[in-house]
Copies of this chain bind each other. A is one copy, B any other.
């Protein structure tokens, strides 16, 4: 699914794959902290200890690298969320999920926001392909949340009439908005509050 490797037809040895991974990982770290626009290719080279020719050997240019970073970060975030949400089937479990995200973000006092959300808001209007990938990733995230709500419904903890997809969208929206407010305030409180409101709403829709 990645369209970022500039050598789709060529071989890729284990060594090459390792170098490519180093570049992407280094770029992802830098772009999370400095933003995409604030990260130069020289930064990436310095951070990953790779030469410029290697960077351009593996990626057609900065756009391609950014797309690879999005794939990489997306895989990480969705994987993490799959682990965190895949077996949650209670409101209490959702609240633990929220606590983990908030506590993790509190380590940086909210700085940098959501690794996926920050990429999305910076890149969406410049690179349509990247935007589509990000949109799909948010769709997967929302699907994981919808899965939890489905299980809540099955166990009778959520009304059968509850509009699951919309609740999942709203929850993801509250999460992303919370990240943004926390990033601006350098304080995770608004993030916790925002998600909490969404969870309280879901909780209020218990079967009657």
A-side interface residues, number (CB < 8 Å): 49
The 8 Å CB contact of A193, one of B38, B113, B166, is B166
Contacts of A166 in B (CB 8 A): 193, 196-197
Inter-subunit contact A185/B125 (CB<8 Å): no
A201 to B201 CA separation, bound complex (whole angstroms): 6
A129–chain B nearest beta-carbon distance, Å: 13
Inter-subunit contact B35/A122 (CB<8 Å): yes
| A180 adjacent to chain B (CB < 8 Å) | yes
**Which of A16-24, A52-60, A171-179 lies at the interface with chain B?**
A171-179
| A124 adjacent to chain B (CB < 8 Å) | yes
Inter-subunit contact A131/B181 (CB<8 Å): no
A133–chain B nearest beta-carbon distance, Å: 10
Contacts of A175 in B (CB 8 A): 177
Inter-subunit contact B169/A190 (CB<8 Å): yes
Minimal Cβ-Cβ distance residue in B for A186: B131
| A2 adjacent to chain B (CB < 8 Å) | no
| A159 adjacent to chain B (CB < 8 Å) | no
Contacts of A64 in B (CB 8 A): none
| A9 adjacent to chain B (CB < 8 Å) | no
A177 to B185 CA separation, bound complex (whole angstroms): 15
User: Binary interface profile of A, 121-138, with partner B (CB < 8 Å = 1, else 0)?
Assistant: 110111000010011001
Q: A176-B176, A178-B177, A204-B204 are in contact. Are A183 and B121 (CB under 8 A)?
A: yes
Most chain B beta-carbon contacts within 10 A, residue among A111, A113, A170? A170
| A200 adjacent to chain B (CB < 8 Å) | yes
| A198 adjacent to chain B (CB < 8 Å) | yes
Inter-subunit contact B173/A135 (CB<8 Å): no
Contacts of A167 in B (CB 8 A): 197
Q: A184-B134, A193-B169, A193-B173 are in contact. Are A121 and B113 (CB under 8 A)?
A: yes
A60–chain B nearest beta-carbon distance, Å: 20
In chain A, positions 132-174 with a C-beta closer than 8 Å to chain B are 134-135, 138, 166-167, 169-174
